[in-house]
């Protein structure tokens, strides 16, 4: 470890973050590292991991990377053992890896369902189980869920089944974590854009240049705060939940969504993404 | 008095502690009942709960032999398991899927079967209150039942948007008499199977045709605590 020592709310804590190779997980890695944590991030994409590392270095930070498929219990054991071996302890786990597949019910196959459940439910359960195993002095686990876990949304009979589980698994684990002083919470992001109001390459590929602009505007219009979220906004909330400042917070479902859950915005004209 | 004369109900899980009461009350209200593996039903069907085709065949038989599919009751049980630390990963997955996949297929294939015949039906889940109130040593049941609850709300929205006249609601049942209660950490009196059946009849009746995506606790106040 050659991490530059940062002092901050997470100083002295060892944090494991899944899916740190892109988007939300990458930003959560950067935020927690900047707050003084020793961070290990995992994922399946080596190029994405290199990009995360580069961005950390640009900010004078460091985190180490371990390849990891969250749907494999054995890999969880290997990853968690490796963290404890290297750093002596585990204080926080961010179950961030997640997948989405939105389809109307006549197109949702059992394979689609299994794909959603294996990552969003099973992977998070394995992570919680391994965290409980090694967090002998207490700790904090954060499951990244989705607004689909808090209300119905079209094309989500499978995704809602998975993410509803993600959120409630956190609550069930919070009940059982009491005896071990482990807190477990769930975080629900709103619509996130990493590039401000500029459409992402993914949105352009999906909707075309004009369609992507409309998509961005639609999401701005349907968010009460009138702006899109940034992955950093979620990272700071996760960092709070990992920190001792949140020592009395457990079993909660927090939304970081610019107010979308407060209004009736979510359902207005969500179009089939074709 | 709720009159369901001429209606056909399908009960997706005869092993649930409220299934027999639901069958009896639906029949008393005039409905014919098709039950998966149920002796007291007007038509008993066998099915493989993990097979979409098997659900499709069962719903087809219900429509052909009893003349409809107006009410679909999907009971999901609540079983405690080992604590998180001692639960084998494969046992968690098996316990989760036995609840989640069954309810998912019953719901989605049932709605598609209703739609195919132009039936403006009512889908009624019976879920453990653990879908809202987390219980200890029941990670799979909590995770599956909350997932099913939000799947049901998504289905309700899809149906509303399609204007197919199908409504989807859920009853959140407290510990039912005769079943081992989950560890909710608070004292709670059990509810009778008949109380659950009364709520099923309410959601099955015309009067509830404008309610969809709703969850109704029948739990002696457990969820409210």
The chain A residue lying nearest B49, using CA atoms, is A110
Q: Do A151 and B150 touch (CB under 8 A)?
A: yes
A159 is catalytic: yes
DSSP-derived pairing of the beta strands A92-95 and A14-17: parallel
Per-residue pLDDT averaged across B124-131, rounded? 97
CATH H-level, domain A14-192+229-268: superfamily: NAD(P)-binding Rossmann-like Domain (3.40.50.720)
Q: Give the pLDDT of residue A6.
A: 62
Residue length of chain A: 274
Chain A CA closest to residue B94: A122
Q: What ipTM was reported for this prediction?
A: 0.90
Token readout for A216 is 């961005």
**Ordered per-residue pLDDT tens for chain A, 274 residues:** 444 556 899 999 999 999 999 999 999 999 999 999 999 999 999 999 999 999 999 999 999 999 999 999 999 999 999 999 999 999 999 999 999 999 999 999 999 999 999 999 999 999 999 999 999 999 999 999 999 999 998 899 999 999 999 999 999 999 999 999 999 999 999 888 887 778 877 778 888 999 988 988 888 888 888 888 999 999 999 999 999 999 999 999 999 999 888 875 554 544 433 3
In 10 A of CB B15, how many CB atoms?
11
Q: Which of A79-88, A210-219, B110-119, B124-133 has the lowest mean pLDDT?
A: A210-219
- φ, ψ dihedrals at B4, nearest 5°: -115, 25
Q: What is the CA radius of gyration of chain A?
A: 18
Strands B32-36 and B8-11: parallel
Single out the residue of A179, A184, A182, A143 nearest to residue A162, CA to CA.
A143
Q: What is the pLDDT at residue B188?
A: 87
- Cβ of residue B54 closer than 8 Å to a chain A Cβ: no
Residue carrying the six token digits 């219900």: B62
Q: Is the pLDDT of residue B201 over 60?
A: yes
Contact A152, B153 (CB under 8 A): yes
Residues sharing a CB contact under 8 Å with residue A223, sequence separation 6 or more, in sequence order: A190, A191, A229, A257, A258, A259, A260, A265
DSSP B214: -
R_g over Cα of chain B: 16
Q: What is the mean pLDDT of chain B?
A: 95
Chain B residues lying within 8 Å of A125, measured CB to CB:
84, 89, 92, 139, 143
Domain boundaries along the sequence of chain A? 14-192+229-268, 196-226
Check CB contact under 8 Å for A129 and B87. yes
């Amino acid at each position: 470890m050659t991490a530059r020592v940062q002092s901050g709310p997470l100083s002295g804590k060892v944090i494991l973050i899944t899916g740190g190779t892109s988007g939300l997980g990458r930003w959560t890695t950067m935020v927690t590292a900047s707050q003084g944590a020793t961070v290990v991030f995992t994922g399946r994409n080596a190029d994405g991991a290199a990009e995360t590392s580069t961005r950390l270095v640009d900010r004078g930070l460091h985190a180490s990377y371990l390849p990891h498929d969250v749907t494999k219990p054995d890999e969880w054991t290997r990853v968690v053992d490796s963290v404890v071996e290297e750093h002596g302890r585990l204080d926080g786990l961010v179950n961030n890896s997640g997948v989405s597949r939105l389809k109307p019910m006549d197109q949702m196959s059992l394979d689609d369902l299994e794909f959603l459940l294996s990552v969003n439910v099973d992977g998070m359960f394995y992570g919680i189980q391994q965290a409980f195993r090694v967090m002998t002095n207490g700790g904090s686990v954060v499951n990244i869920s989705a607004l689909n876990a808090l209300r119905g949304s079209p094309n989500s009979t499978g995704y809602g089944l998975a993410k509803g589980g993600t959120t409630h698994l956190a609550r069930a684990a919070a009940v059982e974590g009491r005896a071990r002083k482990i807190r477990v919470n769930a975080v629900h992001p709103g619509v996130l854009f990493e590039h401000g109001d500029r459409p992402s390459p993914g949105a352009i590929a999906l909707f075309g240049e004009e369609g992507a602009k409309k998509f961005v505007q639609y999401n701005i219009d349907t968010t009460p705060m009138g702006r899109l979220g940034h992955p950093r906004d979620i990272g700071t909330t996760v960092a709070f939940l990992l920190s001792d400042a949140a020592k009395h917070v457990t079993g909660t479902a927090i939304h970081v969504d610019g107010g979308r859950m407060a209004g009736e915005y979510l359902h207005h004209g969500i179009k089939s993404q074709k | 008095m709720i009159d369901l004369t001429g209606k056909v109900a399908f009960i997706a899980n005869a092993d649930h502690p409220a299934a027999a009461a639901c069958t009896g009350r639906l029949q008393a209200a005039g409905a014919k009942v098709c039950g998966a593996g149920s002796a007291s039903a007007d038509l008993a069907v066998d099915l493989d709960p993990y097979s979409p085709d098997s659900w499709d065949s069962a719903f087809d038989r219900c429509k052909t032999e009893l003349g409809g599919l107006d009410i679909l009751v999907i009971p999901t049980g609540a079983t405690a398991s080992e604590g998180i630390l001692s639960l084998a990963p494969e046992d968690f997955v098996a316990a989760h899927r036995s609840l989640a996949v069954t309810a998912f297929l019953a719901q989605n294939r049932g709605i598609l079967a209703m739609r195919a015949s132009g039936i403006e039906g009512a889908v009624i889940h019976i879920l453990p209150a653990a879908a809202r109130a987390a219980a200890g040593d029941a990670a799979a049941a909590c995770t599956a039942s909350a997932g099913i609850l939000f799947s049901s709300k998504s289905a309700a929205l899809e149906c509303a948007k399609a204007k197919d006249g199908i409504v989807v609601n859920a009853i959140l049942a407290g510990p039912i008499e005769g079943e081992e209660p989950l560890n909710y950490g608070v004292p709670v009196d059990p509810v009778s199977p008949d109380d659950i059946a009364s709520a099923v009849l309410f959601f099955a009746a015309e009067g509830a045709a404008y309610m969809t995506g709703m969850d109704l606790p029948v739990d002696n106040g457990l969820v409210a605590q």
